[in-house]
Structure 1
Amino acid sequence: MNVGIFILLAALILFGVLAFRQISALILAPLVSIFVIVGYRLPVLENLKNQFMPAASSYITKYFLIFFIGALFGAVYQFTGAAESIARFLSKMSGDKFVVPLVMCITGILTFGGVSGFVVFFVIYPIALQMFRKANITRMLIPAAISSGCWTWSMTAPGSPSIQNVIAMTSLGTPSTAALVPSIVATIGEFLMIFLWLEWRARKFTKRGRLFNDKSLKYQLTDEEIKENGSDDLPHPLIAFLPIVTILVSFNLIKLPVETSVLIGTVLAAVLMFRKVSSIEGWVNVFNKGAADSGVAILNTAIVVGFGGVVKNTQGFSDLIEGLKNWNVSPMLFVAITVAVCAGACGSASGGMGVAFDALTSTFVKMGINLQYVHRIGAIAAGTLDTLPHQGAQITLLGICKLTHKEAYYDIAITQILIPFLTLGIFIPLANMGL
């Protein structure tokens, strides 16, 4: 094996192993970046300043507003009870069945409606915890239920205001609904596969006696943490859904920028549900919470993208991309493989897409691939190997849920690595048919 590629592979394994040991991404990313730099016998400080930091800061510069406004929207939905109103409405519609996939659905609705996938964790976790407690289902499935709601179909579906969809639009000049027909079919297939997996796993755990109060888990919750804080004074579900619909209409039909669309939804939500927060001071606290959440979320992600900035400037990465170019595979499969590899190297779907499109868009054009297909394949493929254990957002979510990689990662990997690859197996043949 090429020595340079071996160093990158070793770095990813090191990143994954240390992430399993629950070391913060803020420590891991620079640490493993130094490992790569030393492996290539390059100046450490110079490369941290000129490769690591510019990549991280560039990501923040490009996407901070999306994170920030999405976090404000999420805070409004959390503290007005709008998210819980949607949860109760869907629970009633399902007869309080299918709790685990239902959490996935609620998360997906919120993220598809404009809540940033990086901050929706803070909104949905308290709701998911109570739903799992009432249904007496193991907590080990909460991270997979939440993250599969925000990192799969709601992230890659046509019309989604997700960062991944926006990156593809900006890089390729394609519409938010690129490759509409095969995208819809693939999205439905992905949704159903995840839904069935989560429900099957919930029933399997229950039959084995793994229930909510599981003393074998490393971290046990206190009585205060599992205390129900729900209120009956919630917004009507129609009111809760209206800002979400407004965002989707503004983004997809009126064609406003995603930041403007989500801001409109946030203002509308605050106006419609103003009385659900007791005072002006209370609203200040709501927005302060959203702002703080956005900072944590984007920093965790950007710092891992910084690692990707170091990786993409190594000879090993260049050799890897050149090697992939020489593979005798179909053009669309080539797009899927290269974007997935870049996302894995960066530990970020959005970071990996940015790297892949910057490096390979001209190659995709020369290969004669319809850029609308590149858009959707890239969005789906970016949500595969980005879910290796070193993903910053995943580490954040596990910390919120008080679970370890060992306890919860298996179902995350199935729903967010295996099933998205299977989704590509649906999309690419349809695209090859010209749909």
Structure 2
Amino acid sequence: MSALILAPVVTIFVIVLSGMPILDTLLQHFMPATSDYITKYFLIFFVGALFGAVYQFTGAAESIARTMGCFCGNHFVAPMIMCITGLLTFGGVSGFVVFFVVYPIALQMFKRANLTRRLIPAAISAGCWTWSMTAPGSPSIQNTIAMKSLGTTATAAFLPSLIATAAEFLMIFVWLECRARKFTAQGKLFEDASLKMQLSAEELEERSSDNLPHPIIALIPIAAIILCFNALKLPVETSVTVGIILAVVLMFKKVANINSWIEVFNKGAADSGSAILNTAIVVGFGGVVEQTDGFHYLITHLQNLSISPLVFVAVTIAICAGVCGSASGGMGVAFAALTDTYKSMGVSLEAVHRIGAIAAGTLDTLPHQGAQITLLGICKLTHKEVYFDIAVTQILIPILTLFIFIPLVSLGM
């Protein structure tokens, strides 16, 4: 079911069980929380989706993916897919766009290496939703939410963040490669009759690389975004807009004509609308949950536990992300409800920023996460076939990353 249908239904369910008036609660809490999120973050979603559409339809994202794929040949294929998606998302390309662009490349790389398709969803989504989302300097919405809520910078807690990010990247890289070798040793290869959905000959046909932009040209707008956002300290909206302009200028001829360019931007604008509505309406659900006795009971008991303030930040944001099935939605709910609490704890707001970004990328990947469901549909695989590796790379390893980051901060790094 669409989140636009499911979120109001589940919200009403919570309202009824909590004994609150249905219409008044929807009007006074659900709608304000939804609209507030759209007001704060629409421009970020908008320019991000436009940039993603440009990279999709000019072939720039595919050019980068193919070039990086050539470096590894048939070795380290699953980790390389993770690197490709991570580079694209760290450069500002929407995760949903990356799914559609990278999947055909991943399919061909896995086919050449004779690796099981079971690892494709974990490899793609691990690049989108882990280190590239939480690393210092990332233009991700999670980094931006923390910046706007806490008044911190994109590179908050830079040194411990860098160490934790490197550790997270390495753990995912090693896990994907070890799992690929284990599947191969077990005889689970690309052709696997045990998978529920089989691919057609058309899906396995390799696409032509003709008329793709040069990979260096494709990387220039991404580099410009990172430079503007981190070195020049421009707002993320401005930084991504610079990237869009550069991409259009450098790759103008890769789209047939002006009318086709209008279609590209129409597609990006439509994607931004659906993306932010799907997230904002989940935040609206969170706005109602905040008003329930159960939520206050949970937060009170968490505050009364003998845990450090930094662990408290990690636990509360992870729980909100799990309830929402969304990292950005969970952060939106947690910071809306608990920012004053976090600030009153007397701990470094830079540490709170980075812990929040990492923790939001843990329980958000429970099986009900919409992004994972979308990706599994694209890959024609089921939760039963692939979810274990998704859970390890995007729940367990990010939690281990918190166990690396928090002690580093506690030691004063």
Superposition TM-score, scaled by structure 1 size: 0.89
Q: Report percent identity of matched pairs.
A: 72
Query: Helix, strand or coil for the counterpart of 1:175?
Result: coil
Aligned with residue 261 of structure 1, among 233, 239, 242: 239
Q: Which residue of 2 aligns with 1:3?
A: none
Q: Deviations over 1:333-378 (max 9, x none)?
A: 1111111112112222112212222222222232210111111111
Q: Could you say what secondary structure the match of 2:196 adopts?
A: coil
- In structure 1, the residue matched to 2:328 is 350
- After superposition, the Cα gap between the structure-2 partners of 1:206 and 1:300, relative to the gap in structure 1 and judged at 3 Å, is farther
Q: Secondary structure at the match of 1:303?
A: helix
Residues 70-92 of structure 1: CA distance to partner in whole angstroms, max 9, x if unpaired?
12211222222211221222122
Q: Secondary structure at the match of 1:329?
A: coil
**Native 8 Å contact 2:66 2:105 kept in 1:** no
Give matches, 1:263-302, under 5 Å. Answer: 263-302=241-280
Tell me how far 1:113 sits from its aligned partner.
Answer: 0.6
- 1:108 aligns with 86
> Secondary structure of 2:95's match?
coil
Shifted more, 208-217 versus 376-385: the winner is 208-217
1:332 corresponds to: 310
Does 2:398 align with 1:398?
no
8 Å Cα contact 2:79-2:173 kept in structure 1: yes
SS state at 2:152 partner: coil
> What SS is found at the alignment partner of 2:94?
coil
The answer as to 2:295 corresponding to 1:320 is: no
Aligned CA distance change for structure 1 residues 53 and 403 (closer, same or farther; 3 Å)? farther
Sort the Cα spacing of 1:64 and 1:386 in 2 relative to 1 into closer, same or farther, 3 A.
same
Q: Which residue of 2 aligns with 1:164?
A: 142
User: Which 10-residue stretch deviates more, 227-236 or 343-352?
Assistant: 227-236
Find out whether 1:373 has 2:328 as its counterpart: no
Aligned residue number for residue 229 of structure 2: 251
2:151 counterpart residue number: 173
Select 1:430's aligned residue among 378, 402, 408. 408
Which segment drifts farther, 336-345 or 355-364? 355-364
**Which residue of structure 2 lines up, in the alignment, with residue 8 of structure 1?**
none
User: C-alpha displacement at 1:434, in angstroms?
Assistant: 0.8
Tell me the distance in 2 between the aligned counterparts of 1:94 and 1:261. 31
Deviations 1:166-218 (A, max 9, x none): 11111111111011100000000000001111111222222223333333333
Q: Equivalent of 1:123, from 88, 98, 101?
A: 101
Residue 182 of structure 2: aligned partner: 204
CA distance in 2, matches of 1:119, 1:234: 17
Letter in 1 for 2:197: Y
2:128: which partner in 1? Answer: 150
Aligned mates of 2:108, 2:264 — CA distance in 1: 22
Cα distance in 2 for partners of 1:50, 1:374 equals 29
Preserved contact between residue 137 and residue 226 of structure 2 (Cα < 8 Å): yes
Contact 1:116 1:162 in 2 (8 A): no
| Structure 2 CA distance for partners of 1:54 and 1:119, relative to 1, 3 Å | farther
> Deviations along 1:58-114, whole A, 9 cap, x unmatched?
333322222222122112222222112212221222233211111111111111111
Root-mean-square deviation over aligned CA pairs: 1.9
Superposed counterparts of 1:69-148, under 5 Å: 69-148=47-126
Q: Work out whether residues 345 and 352 of structure 1, in 8 Å CA contact, stay in contact via their aligned partners in 2.
A: yes
Return the letter of the residue paired with 2:81: V
CA shift in 2, pair 1:90/1:96, >3 Å: farther
Change (3 A) 1:96 1:267: farther
Report deviation, 1:24. 4.0
> Do the aligned partners of residues 389 and 44 (structure 1) sit closer, same or farther apart at CA in structure 2, a change above 3 Å counting?
farther
Tell me how far 1:241 sits from its aligned partner. Answer: 1.0
Aligned counterpart for 1:408 among listed residues 382, 386, 392: 386
Aligned pair count reads: 413
Q: Is the 8 A contact 2:56 2:97 kept in 1?
A: no
Pairs within 5 Å for 1:353-364: 353-364=331-342
Tell me the secondary structure at the aligned position of residue 30 of structure 2.
helix
1:132 positional shift = 2.3
**Structure 1's 397 and 55: CA in aligned 2 closer, same or farther, altered over 3 A?**
farther
From 13, 16, 25, the equivalent of 1:35 is: 13
